Structure 1
């Protein structure tokens, strides 16, 4: 049984900051506090337009994050240069077009295998653990293994949507995908729309779950419950 780590995605903190000029709320301080309150890692997803986390934030955060630092994004040339320069613990490759509001699909690892192989090799040569954002599909997971990645991140939106109606049905493809990942020797991360409502059931049913990355729900909950209390609530569910 893997001890699942909680990585707090702080993009929404930057979204609030960017609504006005200045540095309130402070993204760096939010990361420091999240770690102090129990987060096992910090996740950011910089996009080319800088509408939330900016490339400069990523560099600033590298100086203060003492747990695991995870940078998500589409592997454009600028993104690759940023990640190799910062050398986070982990890079998570996401197939987002620049105009996407949020991540809304996993990689087609069959179609994009050669492209991903090249990118993964560059990051691994730099000593950075790699993860690929994928749908809960066995063929996709097996093809991910062929890219050389260390881990996959299961895209959990379909689970979150289906959970309230039929939890067992919603979790079934994720259990199978995680089983295949274990057979292939891949670590399993998960993220997107995981929340206080659905996280515990997910974590209990995915025994080899290494890490969950949670931002929107967690930061939203923190507005009502406080950041320290919220992080501890999520940790207890894991």
Structure 2
């Protein structure tokens, strides 16, 4: 079964919009795990507009499944990850002012930098993953950095699927095959939803984990958080 890691950034966005601690990010994380999700993902950004760095510290003692921290490996982020020691760190090349992640790494241009950062995390026993586009060259470049996994950036797949274009999955199948050939684990995320997740899961070989936040939280407004988590789990089996 492909694991479901729920990104709780949007919960923090709602909390921050009003001040105080409602909704309680720590309680929501525990609830999501109790509903059956196999992981919690957070993506702290330098301006802390949703998940705060302190949230990462506080969640460490709360999350009992897989704890995944995503972000651009600036020094502040590196220091946080080394302090918190999550199960997995996912490296994302988003700019400081990015609303959301919008591209994978150029693993060829940034190979030396990525190798150094990944080596540091792995020396501390933290599994590493690199956010990449569905591009065989970028996957092969990722393999040369020493990373454990890649996370396929799935926006283009989701956009094509919403237009009825099921062949949008083809580059992702090829990228996944290249990753498997290079002994890389495969994660995926961005704009995956209840509508498109089953088709993706059924066609991507060796898919270990998906990270889903925005769509899952939006769907939960209508269907309820516990119900939606279980709907995803059923589609991922």
| TM bucket, shorter chain | over 0.9
Match of 2:199 in 1: 201
Residues 177, 205 of structure 2: 8 Å contact kept? no
* Greater mean alpha carbon deviation, residues 35-44 or residues 218-227: 218-227
- Which residue is 2:113 aligned to? 115
What residue is the counterpart of 1:8 in the other structure? 6
Unaligned runs of 5+ in 2: none
**Aligned pair partner of 2:61 in 42, 57, 63:** 63
| Alignment TM-score, normalising by the size of structure 1 | 0.98
Q: Specify which of 29, 32, 38 is matched with residue 30 of structure 2.
A: 32
Runs (4+) off by over 2 Å:
164-168
Is this contact kept in 1: 2:39–2:65, CA < 8 A?
Answer: yes
Q: TM-score, normalised by structure 2?
A: 0.98
**For the residues of structure 1 that align with 2:59 and 2:201, how far apart are their CA atoms?**
28
**Residues 149 and 186 in structure 2, CA contact (< 8 A), matched pair in contact too:** yes
CA offsets per residue over residues 19-71 of structure 1, 9 Å max, x none? 01100000000000000001100000000000000000000000110000000
Matches within 5 A, 1:128-143: 128-143=126-141
1:90 is aligned, of 88, 98, 101, to 88
What's the offset of the Cα at 1:223?
A: 1.1
CA shift at 1:224, angstroms?
1.0
| Residues in 1 aligned to 2:65 and 2:4: alpha-carbon distance in whole angstroms | 11
- In the other structure, the counterpart of 2:125 is 127
Aligned residue pairs: how many?
A: 236
Structure 1 vs Structure 2 CA RMSD: 0.7
